[in-house]
Amino acid sequence: MVLSPPLLRLLLGSDPERHSAIALTLFGSALYLFNAGLIIAAVSYDYASAIIAPYMLVCLLVGAVLFYGLLRTGLSQRFHDPNLVMAQSLYCAFSVALGYLTVDQHVRGVVLTFMPAILLPGQFALPPRRIHHLTVVMFLMLVGATAINWYINPGEAELFGDILRCTYVTGILVAVCAVAQRVSRNRHEMVLKSEALANALSKVEHMAAHDQLTGLLNRHRMHEVLDKEWHRLQRQTRPTTLVMMDLDHFKRVNDTLGHQAGDEVMKRFATLADTYLRDADVVSRWGGEEFLVLCPDTTAEQALIALNRLRDQVHVQPFLDSHPSLQITFSAGMATLRPSESMDSAIERADQALYQAKEAGRDRFMQSP
Among this protein's residues, is 205 annotated catalytic?
no
pLDDT value for 1: 47
What's the CA gap between 257 and 261, in Å, rounded? Answer: 6
- Do residue 97 and residue 26 come from a single domain? yes
Give 287's strand partners.
290
**152 found inside a domain:** yes
- Do residue 138 and residue 223 come from a single domain? no
- The answer to whether 45 and 62 have CB atoms below 8 angstroms apart is no
- Do residue 288 and residue 344 come from a single domain? yes
> Mind listing the pLDDT tens digit of every residue in the chain (369 residues)?
445 677 777 888 888 888 888 988 999 999 999 999 999 998 998 888 889 999 999 999 999 999 999 999 989 999 888 999 999 999 999 999 999 889 887 777 788 888 888 888 888 888 999 999 999 999 999 899 888 888 887 766 677 778 888 888 889 999 999 999 999 999 999 989 999 999 999 989 888 899 999 999 999 999 999 999 999 888 888 899 999 999 999 999 988 999 999 999 999 999 999 999 999 999 999 998 999 999 999 999 999 999 999 999 999 988 887 888 888 999 999 999 998 899 999 999 999 999 999 999 999 999 998
pLDDT value for 139: 92
Of 203, 228, 251, the one marking the end of a domain is 203
- Do residue 93 and residue 42 come from a single domain? yes
Q: What string of DSSP letters covers 87-151?
A: HHHHHHHHHHHHHHHHB-TTSHHHHHTHHHHTHHHHTTTS-HHHHHHHHHHHHHHHHHHHHHHHH
- The answer to whether 333 and 295 have CB atoms below 8 angstroms apart is no
* pTM above threshold 0.75: no
Count CB-CB contacts under 10 A for residue 48: 22
**80 found inside a domain:** yes
- Do residue 56 and residue 146 come from a single domain? yes
Nearest 10 degrees: CA dihedral of 231, 232, 238, 243? Answer: -70
Report the CATH number at residue 349: 3.30.70.270
Residue 53 DSSP SS3:
helix
- Do residue 184 and residue 279 come from a single domain? no
The catalytic position among 17, 289, 348, 359 is 289
Residue 303 DSSP SS3:
helix
Residue 324 DSSP SS3:
coil
**295 found inside a domain:** yes
**211 found inside a domain:** no
What's the CA gap between 126 and 122, in Å, rounded? Answer: 5
- Do residue 29 and residue 170 come from a single domain? yes
What DSSP character marks residue 25? Answer: H
Number of domains in the chain: 2
- Do residue 336 and residue 282 come from a single domain? yes
What's the CA gap between 189 and 115, in Å, rounded? Answer: 27
Domain coverage including residue 314: 219-367
- Do residue 178 and residue 305 come from a single domain? no
Q: What is the largest CA-CA distance in the chain?
A: 110
**208 found inside a domain:** no
pLDDT value for 334: 96
- Do residue 191 and residue 229 come from a single domain? no
Tally of residues, the chain: 369
Of 203, 232, 259, the one marking the end of a domain is 203
The H-or-E segment that residue 274 falls in is helix 259-276
Residue 299 DSSP SS3:
coil
